[in-house]
Amino acid sequence: MVNDTSDPAVKGTGAKAAWVLLGLAAILAVGSIGYNLWSSGGSEGTVAAAAGEGPSIAELRERAEASSGDARPWTDLAFAHFERGEFAEATTAYESAIAIDGEEAVLWSALGEALVFANDQASADAEPLPDRAVEAFEKAVELDPTDPRARYFLNVKKDLAGDHEGAIAGWLTLLRESPVGAPWERDLVRTIEQVGKINDIAVEDRLAQAMEGRLPPIAVPGSGAVAGAGAAGGLGGPTQEQIAAASQMSPEDQQAQIRAMVASAEAKLADDPGNLDRWVMVIRSHAMLGNAAKAKATLEAAVAANPQESEELRRQAQALGIQ
């Protein structure tokens, strides 16, 4: 790993700059956790723990220790520890989850992430990416080459090793293959810009090119923010004014309002099952709330009601990590 800034190949990044980069990685990783938990079926317990509600650590541990063939309670416990900054404990819990289900890429990338921050927490002079973390990320991409968190950190490894151009190229590929509006998009762009600036590598045109040809954003009908003029009418989605007002609410009030909107949209689908935009809005809303099971169930209900549109519905759901 890079700690010697005298090497011309890495001069300009160095250990301190690497930690700045990993500070951005922390922001990215939080978004990545949420997104990957949607795709792997994160439970309501996980989401509640992340919001500071629901079961206590002791209760989560009791559930995990009582589980026999289910990795989910251990994942819930690990996520709760991670959110509290208890990275060593999160590492242990993820290892227990992997012992039960070692074929889930998201568990390996989550373990790698926890190892990175546990290592940093244990020593200020620690290597930015410990070997065990790298091995976990490599296992994640072996199981799922599209895992965004593992791909991000493996390109951090390239940057720390002095391959700044290779790292930027890898991040640009990740950006190009990420759904528009993915939770990690903004901080991924910042990382590319920062590493480009530090190492005098032009990235502006390449970023613009990476943004072209990506999957369209999953429309939030009526919002005017994502769907814009193409939004279908009469869906009861939030207006720009409502979105602005919601941004001033507490997280608890925001969640309550979103759940109310979802319930209203679901009720309308019973009378209008052919409304694809509304189906997509409900799928996205469940995903944003962290309820992958409901998002998946809604997708299947949408396909059953509109079999001729199954390909498009599944494409849009896949862009959210819902398979």
The domain locations on the chain are 14-211, 228-318
Per the CB < 8 A criterion, the answer to whether 191 and 197 are in contact is no
Fold entry, domain 14-211: 1.25.40
The DSSP 8-state label assigned to residue 55 in this structure reads S
Instruction: Indicate the pTM of the whole model.
Output: 0.60
Q: How confident is the model at residue 97, as a pLDDT?
A: 92
Predicted pLDDT at 275 = 83
DSSP string, 118-182: HHHHH-TTS-SS-HHHHHHHHHHHHH-TT-HHHHHHHHHHHHHTT-HHHHHHHHHHHHHHSPTT-
pLDDT in tens, 167-188: 999 999 999 988 777 777 877 8
Residue in this structure with the two tokens 């039960």, named with its chain if needed: 100
Q: pLDDT at position 102, please?
A: 92
State the Cα–Cα distance between residues 148 and 187, nearest whole angstrom.
13
* Sequence-distant (≥ 6) Cβ neighbours of residue 245 within 8 angstroms: none
Distance (Å, whole) CA 61 – CA 75: 10
Quick one: pLDDT at residue 322? Answer: 75
Structure tokens at 122: 């244990």
Work out the angle between the directed axes of helices 105-122 and 72-83 (0-180°, nearest 10): 30
3-state helix, strand, coil in the chain (%, to 5): 70, 0, 30
* Residue keyed to tokens 């546990």: 118
Give the residue ranges of the chain where pLDDT is below 70: 1-54, 124-125, 213, 215-259, 288-290, 319-321, 323
Contact status, residue 192 vs residue 171, Cβ threshold 8 Å: yes
> What residues have CB less than 8 Å from 221, skipping those under 6 apart?
227, 231, 232, 235, 237, 277, 278, 280, 281
- pLDDT the model gives residue 280: 80
Residue closest to 86 by CA, chosen among 46, 137, 121 = 121
Distance CA 191, CA 257 (A): 33
Distance CA 191, CA 25 (A): 8
Closest CA to 182 of 284, 50, 79, 47: 284
Answer for the pair 286, 294: CB distance below 8 angstroms, yes or no: yes
- Check residue 119 and give its pLDDT: 86
CA distances from 164 to 6, 24, 198, 242, 319 (A): 16, 16, 10, 42, 29
